[in-house]
Amino acid sequence: MSFEISIGPQHPIHVEPLMLRLSVEGELIVDVDVDVSYIHRGIEKALEARPYIQGLYLVERICGICNAAHSLCYCLNVEQLLGKEAPPRAKYLRIVVEELSRIHSHLLWLGHYFHTLGFETLFMYFWRDRERIMDMLELITGNRVTTSYNTIGGVRRDLTPEAEQRLRRTLDYIEERMRYYEKVIDSEPTILARTQGVGILKPSDAVRLGVVGPHLRASGVKHDVRLDDPYSGHDEIPFNVITWDTCDCYARVKVRIREVYESVNMIRYALDHMPSGDYRLKIPPFFKAPPGESLSRVEAPRGELVHYSISDGGDRPYRYKVRTPTLANLLSVVEMLRSRDGYEVYIADVPAILGGIDPCICCSARVMVTDEARRRRTIMTLEDVIKISRERGAKRR
Amino acid sequence: MGLVEKLVKKCRARSPWILLFDTGACNACDIEIAACLTPRYDVERFGVLARGSPRHADILVVTGPVTRQARDRLIRIYEQMPEPKYVVAAGTCATSGGVYWGCYNTYPSLDSVIPVHAYVSGCPVKPEAILKAISILVEKIEKGEV
Ligand code: SF4
């Protein structure tokens, strides 16, 4: 007989409202249902009602953590519609901020991940170091989290020499700390026990489910938009695509730690080879885009981010569509959480596995759940749910 | 007011336990509130602890515009909290709808759904601002003004 357990939408591990409905048999999980609809706000529709420049600030607030990636993707998209390209200096500055926010996102994830595993000390360490990156973002862009740095045709402000000096010092510090953390993680038996062999996602399954980003690279597949489709001068900057072939939660930790080193090196290279010249094109704040459609891709901290827009020649998009990485990755959670022959998943592993994909629900609420029956069920009390699942279990027997 | 009541009031003001609920935020406010718990800001020195269950919490910190789907949950969580309870609206979204003003799936502000005792503006809110809001709220609780 199987039992149904609902986790969320308000729960201590994850601040974002995500609802998981697990069917369990004893300690084993046999089926999962994911509901991300708690945070659907209707951004795509709202974009159709705002001029392009206002849309920029709305797009940034799809997700606060990867706001640099979202705004970059939006700017690339609109620039493509206009047939313009940002100047070389702007491209490098965009890379600097993009990679800084990748480091911030990865540190945030690593801290949060060890918090879900119950390793509070590492959580505090990671978040303390992350503050250094936040200071840098504030120094360069003017705000800690939502940076509003990218704008249509370039970036909003230039990098001062003092900021560059401080940025270099911070990068040295972060690199040194990451080496230390890597050593801690590799020598700590509890971490290894909770991550190795947990949440296996085979490369073939990962590709079949359309998984993206560090999660895909942790399954040993070499895929990175920065390499495959260089969008902001990434072809001029050398970097390695990190992959790991153990395909478990341990691989996901390792890939993200190694990616921080890569990001540090990319920022250093960009600072060393920073082109001179303008940092933005002169584009009037309100403009009309020629009719057409455009698609842009960016490697956000969580994976490939796709923006697609249609213009009918007006001053606002006719249709705007966003495909975020977590939406692609959520499907794999269902795959990883389901016990199959020889592969067993326990309730205690749920946080480790769910956390492993670095879920960002505010991004994913693109899909509206219109399933009436299901929506009604979420308003029920826990007792009701248990009763239903008991009945169902009895039927199955 | 009896001695015990006075004592309880004093103690309550010294240990406000908070519960964070995201009703549709873009995550930036959430991570800034989470940053309050970390070494640099360390909200625990004021006796503030983040709790996982509404039944343990004194202060509900809500971020984000209230979406239609999250509204019922929010009300339920609010009702589950024991009296006396206080609500902090963190971020421009929660106070006034913010950038999502006019979206078809959001309510204009948090106080159209549940009563609010403190508003923190900022998009996202700065950790310093949250610390300040909580310390002012605690002071008011101690004096019995809210
Ligand atoms: S106030 Fe700003 S940062 Fe906070 S949730 Fe709303 S949009 Fe995001």
Question: Which pLDDT value is given to residue A356?
Answer: 66
DSSP, collapsed to helix, strand or coil, labels residue B23 as coil
Q: The whole model's pTM is what?
A: 0.86
Local confidence band at A113 (pLDDT 50, 70, 90 cut-offs): confident
Q: Which residue of B lies nearest to A68 if distances are taken between CA atoms?
A: B28
pLDDT at A393 over 50: no
Q: Looking up tokens 């360490």, which residue turns up?
A: A125
Local confidence band at A73 (pLDDT 50, 70, 90 cut-offs): very high
Instruction: Report the pLDDT averaged over residues A40-48.
Output: 84
Which residues of A fall within a CB distance of 8 Å from B70? Answer: 9, 17, 38-39
CA distance A239 to A264: 10
Residue type (1 letter), A38: Y
Predicted-complex ipTM score? 0.87
Q: For residues A217 and A207, is the Cβ–Cβ distance under 8 A?
A: no
Which residues of B fall within a CB distance of 8 Å from A10? Answer: 21, 54, 73, 77
Question: Which pLDDT value is given to residue A385?
Answer: 37
Cβ neighbors of A126 (< 8 A, separation 6 or more) are: A107, A108, A110, A111, A114, A181
Question: Which pLDDT value is given to residue A178?
Answer: 92
CA distance A291 to A178: 48
Per-residue pLDDT tens digits for B61-78:
888 888 888 888 888 888
Question: Is the peptide bond prior to A238 cis by the omega test (within 30 degrees of 0)?
Answer: no
B55 CB burial (10 A radius; 0-12, 13-18, 19+): exposed
Instruction: Report the pLDDT averaged over residues A185-213.
Output: 85
Question: Which pLDDT value is given to residue A170?
Answer: 93
CA distance A243 to A342: 26
**DSSP designation for B119:** E
CA distance A104 to B123: 18
Per-residue pLDDT tens digits for A322-341:
888 887 787 777 777 777 66
Q: How far is B108 from chain A (nearest CA, A)?
A: 12
Question: Which pLDDT value is given to residue A371?
Answer: 31
Torsions phi, psi for B84 (to 5 deg): -75, 145
Q: Please tell me if the CB atom of residue B16 comes closer than 6 angstroms to any atom of ligand 1.
A: no
Question: Which pLDDT value is given to residue A310?
Answer: 92
Q: Which residues of chain B have pLDDT under 50?
A: none
Q: What is the mean pLDDT of chain B?
A: 85
**Superfamily (CATH) of domain A43-363:** Cytochrome-c3 Hydrogenase, chain B (1.10.645.10)
pLDDT at A139 over 60: yes
Local confidence band at A193 (pLDDT 50, 70, 90 cut-offs): confident
Instruction: Report the pLDDT averaged over residues A55-67.
Output: 87
Break chain A into its structural domains and give their ranges.
43-363, 371-397
| Backbone region of residue A118 per phi and psi (left: phi > 0; alpha: psi in -120 to 50; beta: other values) | left
Q: For residues B20 and B51, is the Cβ–Cβ distance under 8 A?
A: no
Q: For residues A280 and A86, is the Cβ–Cβ distance under 8 A?
A: yes
Say what the alpha-carbon torsion angle A18, A19, A25, A31 is, to the nearest 10 degrees.
Answer: -80
Q: What is the mean pLDDT of chain A?
A: 80
* Top mutation candidate among B63, B66, B119, B126 for ligand 1, by most atoms within 8 Å of CB: B63
Query: Nearest-CA neighbor of A231 among A182, A290, A299?
Result: A299
Architecture of domain B14-141: 3-Layer(aba) Sandwich (3.40)
Give residue ranges of B with CB < 8 Å to any A CB.
Answer: 20-32, 34-35, 38-40, 51-54, 64-65, 67, 69-70, 72-73, 77, 98-100, 102-106, 123-124, 126
Residue type (1 letter), B145: E
pLDDT at A366 over 50: no
Residue A311's DSSP bridge partners are A292
Question: Which pLDDT value is given to residue A3?
Answer: 67
Question: Which pLDDT value is given to residue A308?
Answer: 92
pLDDT at A302 over 80: yes
Question: Which pLDDT value is given to residue B139?
Answer: 85
CA distance A388 to A382: 10
Local confidence band at A373 (pLDDT 50, 70, 90 cut-offs): very low
Local confidence band at A11 (pLDDT 50, 70, 90 cut-offs): low
